[in-house]
Structure 1
């Protein structure tokens, strides 16, 4: 039985193996493993890709978010509005900077922040909005930027899952005050380890972020702030520079995979497919369905996932416990039922295998396996699609 994984990086590597091997060998031969020319070359190329004047590459997407907050002088006593339906790194960075995350419910059709609910969450302590372009889908940034201008707030875009996505004709990461990216291997632009980047058009913020990532130092052995050590190593930079050349092609292939899923799943009334983006471009880091008849104990959804795994199709469940209900955030006082759309989605979502090289035959297997699992579990047709 052939197993279809949620993501397969091996075929991608085979396609670029000779270029990667040569680039890595060049870095190793140079002896410049930290802050070498490969890092500067990639930072310039990635900044150009996003369309930002400054690109500061760092150790991870989490560090990018933390450095952005620190560069903006957001800390104790401040609040940052963000999504409860995302990886904890988003809120974790806010907390690590000393600020408080304020969670706003999501739109169940997009899994992104419900922009209509943002204004009600703005208070006297609000300093920033941190929208998350989840699963490769851009947030509708127009209302976000309008609110930020009206209330004098900064906007930190969490683009970890959305490199190459567009709102209108603009790349995510250049719309807000700062964009933050992850190069974790499973991302659309993924390295062979951790990595991240900040993008901004603000000269002062860029200079401060660079200072903070180098132990709070602009001049060696002179430290003006408590910073961190967060650098992208030269080997990762060299690999990412090669992958960046292929990113648009890979994202186009992801779009083709998503279109095939749309078509193949059209007759499957037990699921709700992701909606198309009407104001930009999704790059489909994930293809995530909803099983609207699944109950809050996660039993049916988890049964479907297990049956598919046993049949050789590995699906993922992302964020089964929303951030506002995580034990670490119990002190914020959120209760079950406070963010109902987020809580409903958390026990409905199921992400199908998604990677650029996924072919139609494999997708047919995925969809047939899903149909069989839905029948075995006995989930009914969706009440709405």
Structure 2
């Protein structure tokens, strides 16, 4: 066992029997003006300059920027930090806002392809970069409402009361905590019975579109509608109320089955109820680069749909799956994760298409 004994009681240095004298170093508490550093965690910094023989990664002063030493930090932690700051909207790039409100339905009658996850995280990304966004949860499961931290009780007012009871949509929209400029119109289990109740109502296919009239086009930049995994009256209402359809496609074989039926339904709604409707965006989700099948599906979708497919591939991510259990999107839960960065890039593509798509 290595032991130390005083070399001289008055010189303040210590000597090791194995390694010889070790010079003493005085430390002083360095005050910090950074508001994000608490007084309890203020850094300690040596009075002496950092020697050339000590790695900068092990320097006890964690506050200085890379410019203090004339080098750029390029470590995994630094890269993750930069990605997180970009996701949170602290980058230098300014995202464009559309000339008028874009209403987008996120639809696919197959379940488990990432409709809700895509809706929530793209909405959060757009809001974090200066856009005013409202999410309308039209799925009776209410997963988008959960992911955005909305309270859902049997007494809660929801989009059901707008569709069936003609309640003002503006009174149902609630702000999302932690994300300014983002609102959510939640769903409750009552919505499960709306399909039947809508059958007997006048103009049953356009009740959601009429509800959107409560907002002027200049009040919001985006309205994203999370559709249920079916092609019933709720999905038809969404397609009548919007001009764009965003289709998430899982990078697996089964995801391609049924896609033709969805496109046929879009054409039916377009020809009979909403001539302005079009599929504007396709997002490839749950991509696993380790499998050849995922690459084949991605290539097949791109060859068939061309520029409608976003360049960004959304990978499988544990963080994306964990976030809803904390009532958050992955953009606030873990902004440096691969899933958050991918959804931010996907939202950026959608934003930069804004003026080209609106008025197509």
Structure whose CA Rg is larger: 2
TM-score bin, normalised by smaller chain: under 0.3
**Could you state the TM-score of these two structures normalised by the residue count of structure 1?**
0.27
Give TM-score, length-normalised by structure 2. 0.28
